[in-house]
Structures are given as structure tokens and as C-alpha cells.
């Protein structure tokens, strides 16, 4: 973009693309004031003893000490870790396998794609309620199988504290894999047909082509998918509220729910802010090194 001078006068650097700059002012302001400003405000107030209304009386790290001593927060973190790990692995694997199957030039592909993507059109609350009924021992899967003759069949994950988080995971996967599949399918379609032909000529088996050639070539799509899934994991809240409201007991609590409950139900903003700052920190720990590798270091890849 050099040497695009109009007339003889050297144009001011700041005035170049003036229209575009003016047009982006609202978005820049939004980003700086709302996102960055709000984040900083939250972090600052997490060091205060704000109750129902924010007030600036600093108490140091008290809120954080209390947070990490609270059994409910620990359970929330463990749940998030289990939920995060499995939903990342399963939605990627299932999504990719579905996409690969879909890519075999099957009939009615559009129909299948629509069916798979349909759950994604539902809100988490609806998904949660549907699965709450499906997994309810009195109305759902368990009662249907029992009415077919297996009297001893027992399947009530939402009422068993040890496995309740997997009951939530099932609903999350049901909703989320369709989108992953579509993204992956788009990635697969973006791969040049010639590569497949070349692989076939060389006699490379199909699974090997996928694992060694196609997947590495889909790096961009996979990273996009990862970011979408990961952000969905950290903010999981409505699904839990709709399915179990954190129960039985506190067995399916998640961090976002802790933040909400302490900010609004317990009227303890400081505690809620401390918890949300910890969530931000978790995300930062994962995102920053990755972003550095991906965009930093001056080296461009892919």
C-alpha cells in the first residue's frame, strides 16, 4: 500500500482511509469502553468488599481466599474441567467423523446435514429442558426401556451426583456436534480434489490420507472450531440451570453459575467479581500462549 499519493502534497498518515476509520469508531469504542473497560472495572472491584452495590473499600485478596476455600467453587472447577475435556474431544471427533461420512458423496446429503444441524438452532434452555425430560427416570429413557420389559434397567444420570456432569455433557454434545460437523465439512470441501487423486495413485489407504494429509491441511478450520467450542465450554450456564439447577446438591455446579448466584442471589458483588476474574484468568492462560504461537513470533504459517 505504498505510493498511492493523490496530487503533489504528501497525505497525512492519519487521514488515509478516513471513511473506514470513522466507520469503525463505534466498534473501537465498544471494544475499549465496554469490553476492556468493563473487564478492568470488574478486576478492580474484585479486590473490594462490595455487597449489593459496588463500593471502593479494598480488602486485598480476601475475596480470592474465600473463593478458593469454598467447596462449591472447587466442585465447579472440577466439573468445568471434566465437561471441557470431554466435550472438546467428543465434539471434535464425532463432528469430524460425521463430516467425513457426509463427504462420501452420499444421497440426501442436504437432508442429513439439516437434521444434524437442527439441534444447534435450539437455545440451550430448550435443549436442557428436553434432555431433563429424556433423562428423568419417571418419564424418560429409563421408563421407556422398563416398559419394554427390562425392569431392572436404571439410567438416571441427572439424579446421581457422581455422573450428573455426564448427563449435561450428553445434552451439550447433542446440541453442539452438528455445528462442528458443518464447519469440518466446509473444511473438507475446501481440499483440492487432486490431493485425493494423488493419494489414491500412491496407494495410500483412506484413513491414512485423512490422518496424515487432510487433517493437517484443515488446520485453520480446526482452530476456528476449537475456539468456538472452548468459548462455549467456559460460559456453560443455561444448560445446567435448565437441566439440574446445579443439583443434586452442588454436584453439577459450574463457575458461571457461581458468579451469577453470588452476584445476584447472595448480593455479594465482590465474591462474584473474584470468581469471574478467575474465569478470565483461566481463559487467558489457555488463549495467550496459543495466540502468541499463532500470530506472534513474526512467523507466518499455513
Partner 1 sequence: MKLRSLAGALAATVALPFGAANATDLEVTHWWTSGGEAAAVAELAKAFDATGNKWVDGAIAGSGGTARPIMISRITGGDPMGATQFNHGRQAEELVEAGLMRDLTDVAEREHWRDIVKPSSLLDSCTIEGKIYCAPVNIHSWQWLWLSNAAFEQAGVAVPKNWDEFVAAAPALEKAGIIPLALGGQPWQAAGAFDVLMVAIAGKDVFEQVFAKKDEDVAAGPEIAKVFKAADDARRMSKGSNVQDWNQATNLVITGKAGGQIMGDWAQGEFQVAGKKAGVDYTCLPGLGVNEVISTGGDAFYFPLLDDEEKSKAQEVLASTLLKPETQVAFNLKKGSLPVRGDVDLAAANDCMRKGLDILAKGNVIQGTDQLLSPDSQKQKEDLFSEFFANPSMTPEDAQKRFAQIIADAD
Contact positions vs partner 1 (CB under 8 A): 51-53, 66, 70-72, 136-138, 159, 161, 244-251, 261-262, 264-268, 271
Q: Where are the alpha helices (DSSP H) in 202-247?
A: 206-208, 215-217, 219-234, 238-243
User: Which residues are CB-contacts of 166 (< 8 A; sequence separation ≥ 6)?
Assistant: 86, 157
Q: What is the rounded CA–CA span in Å between residue 93 and residue 99? A: 10
Task: Report in angstroms how near the CB of residue 30 gets to partner 1 at its nearest.
Answer: 19
Is residue 255 within 8 Å of 80, Cβ to Cβ?
yes
Task: Report in angstroms how near the CB of residue 236 gets to partner 1 at its nearest.
Answer: 19
Q: Toward partner 1, which CB reaches closer, 135 or 218?
A: 135
Is residue 168 within 8 Å of 252, Cβ to Cβ?
yes
C-alpha distances out from residue 95 to 56, 165, 199, 217, Å = 48, 21, 23, 17
Task: Report in angstroms how near the CB of residue 70 gets to partner 1 at its nearest.
Answer: 8
Task: Supply the angle between the helices 109-117 and 71-102 in degrees, to the nearest 10.
Answer: 170
Q: What is the rounded CA–CA span in Å between residue 269 and residue 93? A: 40
Task: Report in angstroms how near the CB of residue 49 gets to partner 1 at its nearest.
Answer: 9
Task: Report in angstroms how near the CB of residue 75 gets to partner 1 at its nearest.
Answer: 8
Q: Toward partner 1, which CB reaches closer, 99 or 251?
A: 251
Q: What is the rounded CA–CA span in Å between residue 236 and residue 172? A: 9
Q: Toward partner 1, which CB reaches closer, 168 or 188?
A: 168
Q: Toward partner 1, which CB reaches closer, 239 or 251?
A: 251
Q: Which residue has the cell 427390562?
A: 150
Determine the distance from the C-alpha atom of residue 142 to the mean position of all C-alpha atoms in its chain, rounded to a whole number.
Answer: 30
Q: Of 162, 156, 175, which Cα lies nearest the Cα of 236? A: 175
> How many residues does this entry show for the chain?
302
| Cell numbers at 126, concatenated | 430448550
Task: Report in angstroms how near the CB of residue 29 gets to partner 1 at its nearest.
Answer: 21
Task: Report in angstroms how near the CB of residue 51 gets to partner 1 at its nearest.
Answer: 6
Q: Toward partner 1, which CB reaches closer, 114 or 123?
A: 123
Q: What is the rounded CA–CA span in Å between residue 230 and residue 279? A: 13
Other CB atoms closer than 10 Å to residue 229's CB: what's the count? 22
Residue 58: beta bridge partners?
48
Task: Report in angstroms how near the CB of residue 137 gets to partner 1 at its nearest.
Answer: 7
Amino acid at each position: 500500500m505504498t505510493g498511492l499519493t493523490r496530487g503533489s502534497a504528501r497525505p497525512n498518515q492519519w487521514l488515509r482511509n478516513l471513511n473506514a476509520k470513522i466507520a469503525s469508531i463505534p466498534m473501537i469504542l465498544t471494544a475499549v469502553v465496554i469490553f476492556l473497560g468493563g473487564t478492568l472495572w470488574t478486576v478492580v472491584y474484585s479486590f473490594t468488599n462490595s455487597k449489593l452495590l459496588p463500593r471502593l473499600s479494598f480488602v486485598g485478596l480476601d475475596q480470592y481466599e474465600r473463593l478458593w476455600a469454598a467447596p462449591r467453587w472447587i466442585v465447579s472447577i472440577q466439573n468445568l474441567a471434566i465437561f471441557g475435556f470431554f466435550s472438546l474431544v467428543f465434539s471434535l471427533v464425532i463432528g469430524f467423523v460425521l463430516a467425513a461420512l457426509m463427504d462420501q458423496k452420499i444421497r440426501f446429503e442436504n437432508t442429513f446435514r439439516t437434521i444434524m444441524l437442527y439441534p444447534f438452532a435450539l437455545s440451550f434452555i430448550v435443549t436442557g429442558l428436553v434432555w431433563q425430560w429424556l433423562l428423568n427416570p419417571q418419564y424418560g429413557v429409563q421408563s421407556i426401556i422398563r416398559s419394554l420389559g427390562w425392569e431392572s434397567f436404571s439410567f438416571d444420570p441427572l439424579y446421581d451426583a457422581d455422573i450428573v456432569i455426564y448427563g449435561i455433557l450428553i445434552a451439550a454434545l447433542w446440541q453442539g456436534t452438528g455445528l462442528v460437523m458443518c464447519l469440518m465439512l466446509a473444511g473438507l470441501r475446501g481440499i483440492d480434489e487432486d490431493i485425493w487423486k494423488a493419494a489414491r495413485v500412491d496407494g495410500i489407504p483412506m484413513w491414512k490420507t485423512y490422518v496424515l494429509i487432510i487433517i493437517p491441511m484443515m488446520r485453520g478450520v480446526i482452530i476456528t472450531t476449537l475456539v468456538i467450542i472452548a468459548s462455549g465450554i467456559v460460559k456453560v450456564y443455561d444448560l445446567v440451570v435448565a437441566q439440574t439447577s446445579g443439583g443434586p446438591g452442588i454436584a453439577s455446579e459450574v463457575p458461571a453459575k457461581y458468579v451469577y448466584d453470588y452476584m445476584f442471589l447472595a448480593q455479594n458483588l465482590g465474591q462474584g467479581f473474584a470468581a469471574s476474574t478467575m474465569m478470565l484468568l483461566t481463559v487467558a492462560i489457555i488463549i495467550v500462549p496459543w495466540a502468541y504461537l499463532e500470530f506472534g513470533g513474526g512467523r507466518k504459517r499455513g
